[in-house]
Amino acid sequence: MIKPVGTDTLHPLFVYDSDAHDALSHEAESLPSLLISSQAAGNAVMMGAGYFNPLTGFMSVADAMGAAEKMTLTDGSFFPVPVMCLVESTDAIGDAKRIALRDPNVEGNPVLAVMDVDAIEEVSDEQMQVMTERVYRTTDPEHPGVAAFNSQGRLAVSGAIQVLNFSYFITDFPDTFRTAVEIRNEIQERGWHKIVAFQTRNPMHLAHEELCHMAMDRLGCDGLVIHMLLGKLKPGDIPAPVRDAAIRKMVELYFPPNSAMVTGYGFDMLYAGPREAVLHAYFRQNMGATHFIIGRDHAGVGDYYGAFDAQSIFEDEVPPGALDIEIFKADHTAWSKKLNRVVMMREAPDHSKEDFILLSGTKVREMLGRGEAPPKEFSRPEVAQILIDYYQSLN
């Protein structure tokens, strides 16, 4: 199986030993505590689950700046984005060296992790601007990722963490949320050797389904991991339980047995386009995938990124040898009226736009809201019905 990033074996930060977990949970209740941001909570979950291997905790400002500017930490290791615990005030912890981090996304704000504090540093406006510009390629406050990153405060609390739970993900999505450890174990149990991962924050229409089949066929993969983002999205995105039901129905009906896993991970979407594509590849290697599909405008939002910037960054900016996972570069896929099947648009140079069945997201949402299924060339009817039921429930 493919090795994790930077180590021979995975080092998740969740405390799995039950006695140690009980002792740490008891200790945490007496520690000074910080209520952290949703983004920091997502980072803690990802570290606990092994996806951010080999990070041991939240980055210092120097490491965060290195990650932002050149994807390299002060010790020379590779990481594509800052992983920070930014807060507005540290009055609640004073100069304590061991603290509890509390979850903002669960009622009662339970302890999510215990941290050994290395440093509390003030992040300057200039440093925040540099990190924002390098990671998001814009400082526009209308960009949802920029807005979330810059709303967290300017005090960076860094240090190693031990994770005690996986926030709301394991309770709200018990059939879907999986750690990198669990996915690696299941890949081994299924006997897969070459595995392609597909990222989604939306339901999968026919073009997405066919793209996965194309990637599996062309790469000779024996397994597909459909890996859903379960964290916070932007307003208007379809809720995770609806996406989950739609994707599971598609896999049940249109994929052979033991060829696809439907899983999810707990993280808030950054909408950082190219830089987030590298992060996505990073943690897919940690969960055991050998290949990762990156299509047009991967992890983008609005018009901030070029259509294929998320592919070119791997050649132009990622340090050579930083990742072992291979990228399957995809174009937009759509139904060809000429060929009577789904194709990658770049592989049909004799086609005009009118030769494809293309529907905007707005158009699809309007149809579903009226109880109309999109054409069968666009969406499987069984999948469309789940989405129709959801949109009609909003009326």
Catalytic residues: 201-202
Q: Which amino acid is at 395?
A: N
Q: Write out the two tokens for 372.
A: 């109309």
Per-residue DSSP letter, 347: G
* Beta strand segments in the chain, E: 33-35, 57-58, 86-87, 98-102, 111-122, 155-163, 195-200, 223-229, 260-265, 291-294, 326-329, 333-336, 341-344, 356-357
| Tally of CA atoms within 13 A in the half-sphere of 239 that contains its CB | 10
Rounded CA separation 192/288 (Å):
10
361: Cβ contacts below 8 Å, ≥ 6 apart: none
Rounded CA separation 325/187 (Å):
15
CB 94 within 8 A of CB 83: no
Is the four-CA dihedral 341, 342, 348, 354 of positive or negative sign? positive
144: Cβ contacts below 8 Å, ≥ 6 apart: 234, 269, 271, 301
Q: Write out the two tokens for 281.
A: 């590849």
Helix-then-strand count for the chain, H and E? 13, 14
Per-residue DSSP letter, 7: S
By CB neighbour count within 10 A (0-12 exposed, 13-18 middle, 19+ buried), where does 145 fall?
buried
